[in-house]
Structure 1
Amino acid sequence: MLRQRPSIPADLPAPTGRLVDSRGRPVKDLRISVTDRCNFRCVYCMPKAVFDKDYAFLPRESLLSFEEITRLARLFAAHGVTKIRLTGGEPLLRRNLERLVAQLAAIPGMEVTLTTNGVLLPRKAAALKAAGLARVTVSLDSLDDATFRAMNDMDVPVADVLAGIDAATAAGLGPIKINMVVKRGMNDHEIVPLARHFRGSGHILRFIEFMDVGSSNGWRLDDVVPSAEVVRRIGAHFPLEPVDPNYTGEVAERWRYADGGGEIGVISSVTQAFCSTCTRARLSTEGRLYTCLFAQSGHDLRALLREPRSDAELSAAIGAVWQARDDRYSEIRTAATAGLRKIEMSYIGG
């Protein structure tokens, strides 16, 4: 893995206020991976053939401390970030995560959310809510137990995730977003059953096109179920109407049930690229800043934290990276780019 250090031009002052990249996109969202480990081995993210064989997970001392994460988060907030999403791996494996949530939630104007596979929520949801967590997103790729066990590849039953959703709801972390990664021939038969199950629940089910993130999931274009097809399949059973986005840059295209039964979302990174409005920065478990989910390398902020450097110098480094950002991978995706070696999703967060 590359270890390049971001350069800090001597004449670059610490940026303040709204920060935009070379394509005019502001930074508004920061996704923070708090661990590269997971209790699942999902076939599209951490397949056993790679991650249970010779993959090197990070040693504890390589991980950013909660204090280091919070320091960087405050600097990102000064640049315009208003939302933080904690990811992994599985973020609930990080010990005392509620302490980090409390530190981040104390940043003025910051919304803190979390993406999880849900199985640890029954014992964690109440503490996370008390610490200031606003919402959770839960990954659930099938209601069919055999299909779900095959996809997580750790023989975890669907009931464990559903119990986590119930616990999060009881703790007041709703409405919950539930993400289904759709892979043709594996779980696409579950699109309508999932829609039927969560219709009227108050939760928002979102269908994500299978993406070529990382280099280990065996991605093929033939395995992608286009979002338009997902909408057609659901609409054939439950008529749908398009809904305006909540804000510029929202990644999910929204649809509501015509009879008032709630809404769904589709995330179409493969067939309908949304690079032009992407406002997301990503901070890896060991403090590398990535400007795209499909990046091949990142920028080492941990080295600057531990030298140490001043807040002004760190802020300038962040500004220099974002201002140079030119990423638009999904707009230029080809068979050749899909084959490039990229950072694994379990390391950078989804």
Structure 2
Amino acid sequence: MPEEGIKYVPKEELLSWEELLRLSRIFAKEGVSKVRITGGEPLLRRDIMFFIKGLSEIDGIEKINLTTNGTVTGKYLDELWKYGVRSINLSLDTLDKERFFAITRRDEYDVVMECFYRMIDMGFSVKINCVVMAGINDQDIIPLVKLTQELPVSVRFIEEMPFNGEGKEKGHLVWDYKKILSEIESTFPKINKLQDPANSTAYNYQLEGGQGSFGIIAAYSRTFCGSCNRIRLTPKGVVKTCLYDEGVFNIKNIMRAGATDEEISLAIYEAVSGKAKDGFEAEKKRALNFPVSESMSTIGG
């Protein structure tokens, strides 16, 4: 989180819930069966349960997943379960209270951990997303892996990406997926490689006898691009076929210009058909004056 916080977008620039539900129905007709709601913190947006309830009523949408930081999630858990949400990703980069405050600039560690344990008790499939940052939280790798031995939780370690609002020079990465795995193996020699699901972005593993599992996402190395089947829609209506592109087109603009569902479907099809072969190609296509430097809090985690 930038120290000065983030600048909120005027409401009229955002896709409305009705526009988002219309787009979700169009995506569902084209074969999309899973929707992930992310942020920033998506539960801060007013009336989001109206949207989630609407998603649950769309034919073809089989899974509604949520990524959250856990600070306000607790009060919504019953409603989330009611509307069919069964999988929640918790953004949690450390199990240390002081480091949590340094990273998030919020004194909410106890609130987040209380929410975490309640989600497990309620039966949600819980995944922890941890971005490994050199000199900041690399000492949390082992404690987080230990968590998977005791609890039915999946921990995913994510290579640090340049989406921090500042940008970093190419080659900055200290903790790549190989080093993260090596660090884990130095403490836990008995690790089982799991079968990675189709289109998985993570290499998945399990400690011998562990209740949960852990995975490593090569987000900066971009080794999974060939099987990626995701499409991203920002709150302002920008369609991204790769996290590293600068946006393919703005779907909000054509919607508000009166496009039919069929015309919107065609625009989506053309965007997906022209997708870069990997994140490196997508990054190269960005305009010279628009390098990879935006904050993940504005793209969606």
**Is the deviation greater in 192-201 or in 84-93?**
192-201
Question: 1:144 aligns to what?
Answer: 96
* Structure-1 separation of matches of 2:141 and 2:17: 38
* Structure-2 separation of matches of 1:57 and 1:106: 30
Amino acid at match of 1:91: P
Q: Is structure 2 residue 130 aligned with structure 1 residue 210? A: no
Question: 2:118 aligns to what?
Answer: 167
Amino acid at match of 2:56: A
Question: 1:132 aligns to what?
Answer: 84
Matches within 5 A, 1:254-269: 254-269=204-219
Question: 1:280 aligns to what?
Answer: 230
SS in 2 for 1:264: strand
Alignment identity in percent? 31
Per-residue CA deviations over 1:70-129 (Å, capped at 9, x if unaligned) read 111111112221111001111010112122111112222321101000111211111111
* Structure-1 separation of matches of 2:77 and 2:207: 29
* Structure-1 separation of matches of 2:164 and 2:32: 26
Per-residue CA deviations over 1:38-63 (Å, capped at 9, x if unaligned) read xxx2xxxxx22xx54xx643101211
Matches within 5 A, 1:230-309: 230-238=180-188, 239-247=190-198, 249-271=199-221, 273-309=223-259
**How big is the shift at 1:348?**
2.0
Q: Is structure 2 residue 282 aligned with structure 1 residue 329? A: no
Question: 2:19 aligns to what?
Answer: 68
* Structure-2 separation of matches of 1:148 and 1:203: 19
Amino acid at match of 1:148: F
Question: Which stretches in structure 2 are left out of the alignment for 5+ residues?
Answer: none
SS in 1 for 2:187: coil
**How big is the shift at 1:218?**
4.3
1:197 to 136, 147, 166: 147
Matches within 5 A, 1:95-110: 95-110=46-61
SS in 2 for 1:75: helix
Per-residue CA deviations over 1:123-149 (Å, capped at 9, x if unaligned) read 111111112212110011111111111
When the two chains are superposed, the root-mean-square deviation of aligned CA atoms in Å is 2.3
Q: Is structure 2 residue 37 aligned with structure 1 residue 86? A: yes
Per-residue CA deviations over 1:175-200 (Å, capped at 9, x if unaligned) read 20001100111110111012113422
2:129 to 173, 179, 199: 179
Across the two proteins, how many residue pairs are aligned to each other? 296
**How big is the shift at 1:166?**
2.1
Per-residue CA deviations over 1:136-171 (Å, capped at 9, x if unaligned) read 1001111111111111123x2422211121232344
RCO comparison, higher one (Cα < 8 Å, 6+)? 1
**How big is the shift at 1:227?**
1.8
Amino acid at match of 1:98: M
**CA, structure 1 residues 322+217, in 2 after alignment: closer, same or farther (shift >3 Å)?**
same
Amino acid at match of 1:79: E
Amino acid at match of 2:40: G
Amino acid at match of 2:265: S
Question: Which stretches in structure 1 are left out of the alignment for 5+ residues?
Answer: 1-40, 42-46
Amino acid at match of 1:164: C
SS in 1 for 2:125: coil
TM-score of the superposition, structure 1-length normalised? 0.78
Contact 1:296–1:342 (CA under 8 A) maintained in structure 2: no
Per-residue CA deviations over 1:283-304 (Å, capped at 9, x if unaligned) read 1101111111112234111122
* Structure-2 separation of matches of 1:146 and 1:223: 24
SS in 2 for 1:265: strand
Question: 2:298 aligns to what?
Answer: 347
Contact 1:253–1:266 (CA under 8 A) maintained in structure 2: yes
SS in 2 for 1:103: helix
Amino acid at match of 2:50: R
Instruction: Choose between structure 1 and 2: higher helix proportion.
Output: 2
Amino acid at match of 1:307: A
Contact 2:70–2:112 (CA under 8 A) maintained in structure 1: yes
**CA, structure 1 residues 291+343, in 2 after alignment: closer, same or farther (shift >3 Å)?**
farther
Question: 1:314 aligns to what?
Answer: 264
SS in 1 for 2:156: strand
Question: 1:123 aligns to what?
Answer: 75
SS in 1 for 2:232: strand
**CA, structure 1 residues 81+187, in 2 after alignment: closer, same or farther (shift >3 Å)?**
same
SS in 2 for 1:192: helix
